[in-house]
A and B are shown apart, each in its own frame.
Chain A
């Protein structure tokens, strides 16, 4: 019986895998290395573009991104969390790379989400769609509310969708069938896409009223 208790103490919770934060030991070496290279490039560009006036903004968005992963949307037996990469990208553009890298590092250290070796890949997965959405919707968001609101909604949801596609892509090079993996990830995140779309639209609407210069589009 004593050994029984000992066993229970030794059997720590085993491998967990979260869908957006890819854990250690899932991906192959080349994928990890290319992730690190891409993330480093993105971060360098982001830091260059992040001038001092935008740093407080970047910090608050980084904090928001860091906490957002704890907000869960319950669906079925599983649960997925908010990502907020759309709004981060929309406000910061390339600055999304350093911001997301910092938040992901802290999530890996404090929450054991993802891992240190997969930081590069995870940063690319979440920050690349953010930058892409900045270029796609940045100008539209600066226009009248008829265009800006749907654009903001799309920005929020598309950035999650693209992140899901990238997860699928990262997994393809290792083990799983791309279509299947991407399908699963995207399906799981449909509620998150809708919620993030609404949150992004809400933020944009608010910023347009109070702080329009924070949004891209006005200043090209």
Chain B
């Protein structure tokens, strides 16, 4: 996913800036009568170079994502754009703000730990220099039994009364529930991961083009104002004659 550059991103990163700048250059040469054309082509080259810069990722924001699997919490940290956080500091707090534990992400941006105690947890990632991400794990995710037992309390009582008749169904049920939770955790974790990834895509190419488009629009507006003023001046001159 990261590290390798597939064809699509190659095209997006290398060709498109060229196309954009070529376009801007052509428009601008109309205004500046070819004066700063060479300067602009230099800028275009520069940008292509910069975008080719090895390791360049559109990383800006940082995200941490955590999921529970059995008694272990896995976390994964990424800059937006997909670059993994290597050696970022992960701190785990309970909701009162007490620090439970801390650690560092490995080269894959992952950090896993055993659940220290059964509370809701806030996982804070410090990727240095003010880059900070947070993820909260609610209690229901860490201890599904606890939150599940409350509404089904009356059911349990019912079971207890019927226990004399049937052969220990509650134990089987608990085991079943546990197994179910585990397999669901396992199955859902990639889905949750995908979901977290989908939530934050860095600036897309559309955003970049949009921004440049706005700047060109402003340029057009300035040109319009200028020429309107000039034509008005010319008209006034004619009338004066």
Chain A contact residues, CB within 8 Å of chain B = 1, 3-5, 7-9, 11-19, 52-53, 55-57, 59-60, 62-64, 66-68, 70-72, 74, 76-82, 102-103, 106-107, 109-113, 184-185, 188, 199, 202-203, 206-207, 210-211, 214
Contact = CB atoms under 8 A, between A and B. Distances in A.
A1 B32 CA distance: 63
Contacts of A102: 214-215, 218
Given A16-B62, A18-B60, A102-B218, A210 B128 contact: no
Nearest to A79: B59
10 contacts: A3-B140, A7-B140, A13-B133, A16-B132, A18-B60, A59-B215, A66-B211, A67-B47, A107-B211, A199-B46
Interface residues of B, number: 71
Nearest to B138: A7
A70 B210 CA distance: 14
Contacts of A17: 130-132
B127 interface: yes
The winner among B60, B134, B135 for most chain A CB atoms within 10 A is: B60
A73 B173 CA distance: 55
Given A4-B141, A5-B188, A206 B128 contact: no
Contacts of A203: 39, 42
Given A15-B134, A102-B215, 18 more contacts: A5-B188, A12-B199, A13-B133, A13-B200, A17-B130, A18-B131, A56-B31, A57-B36, A59-B28, A59-B218, A60-B43, A74-B55, A77-B85, A77-B87, A79-B60, A79-B79, A102-B214, A103-B215
B58 A110 contact: no
Contacts of B62: 16
B157 to A, nearest CB: 24
Interface of B: 17, 24, 28, 31-32, 35-36, 38-40, 42-43, 46-47, 50-51, 53, 55-63, 79, 83, 85-89, 105, 127-136, 138, 140-141, 181, 184, 188, 191-192, 195-196, 199-200, 202-203, 207-208, 210-212, 214-216, 218-219, 222-223, 226
A113 B210 contact: no
Contacts of A110: 203, 207-208, 210-211
Nearest to B46: A199
Q: Which of B132, B140, B203, B223 has the most CB of A within 10 A?
A: B203
A12 B38 CA distance: 45
A176 B140 CA distance: 37
Contacts of B56: 71-72, 74
A80 B129 contact: yes
B131 A78 contact: yes
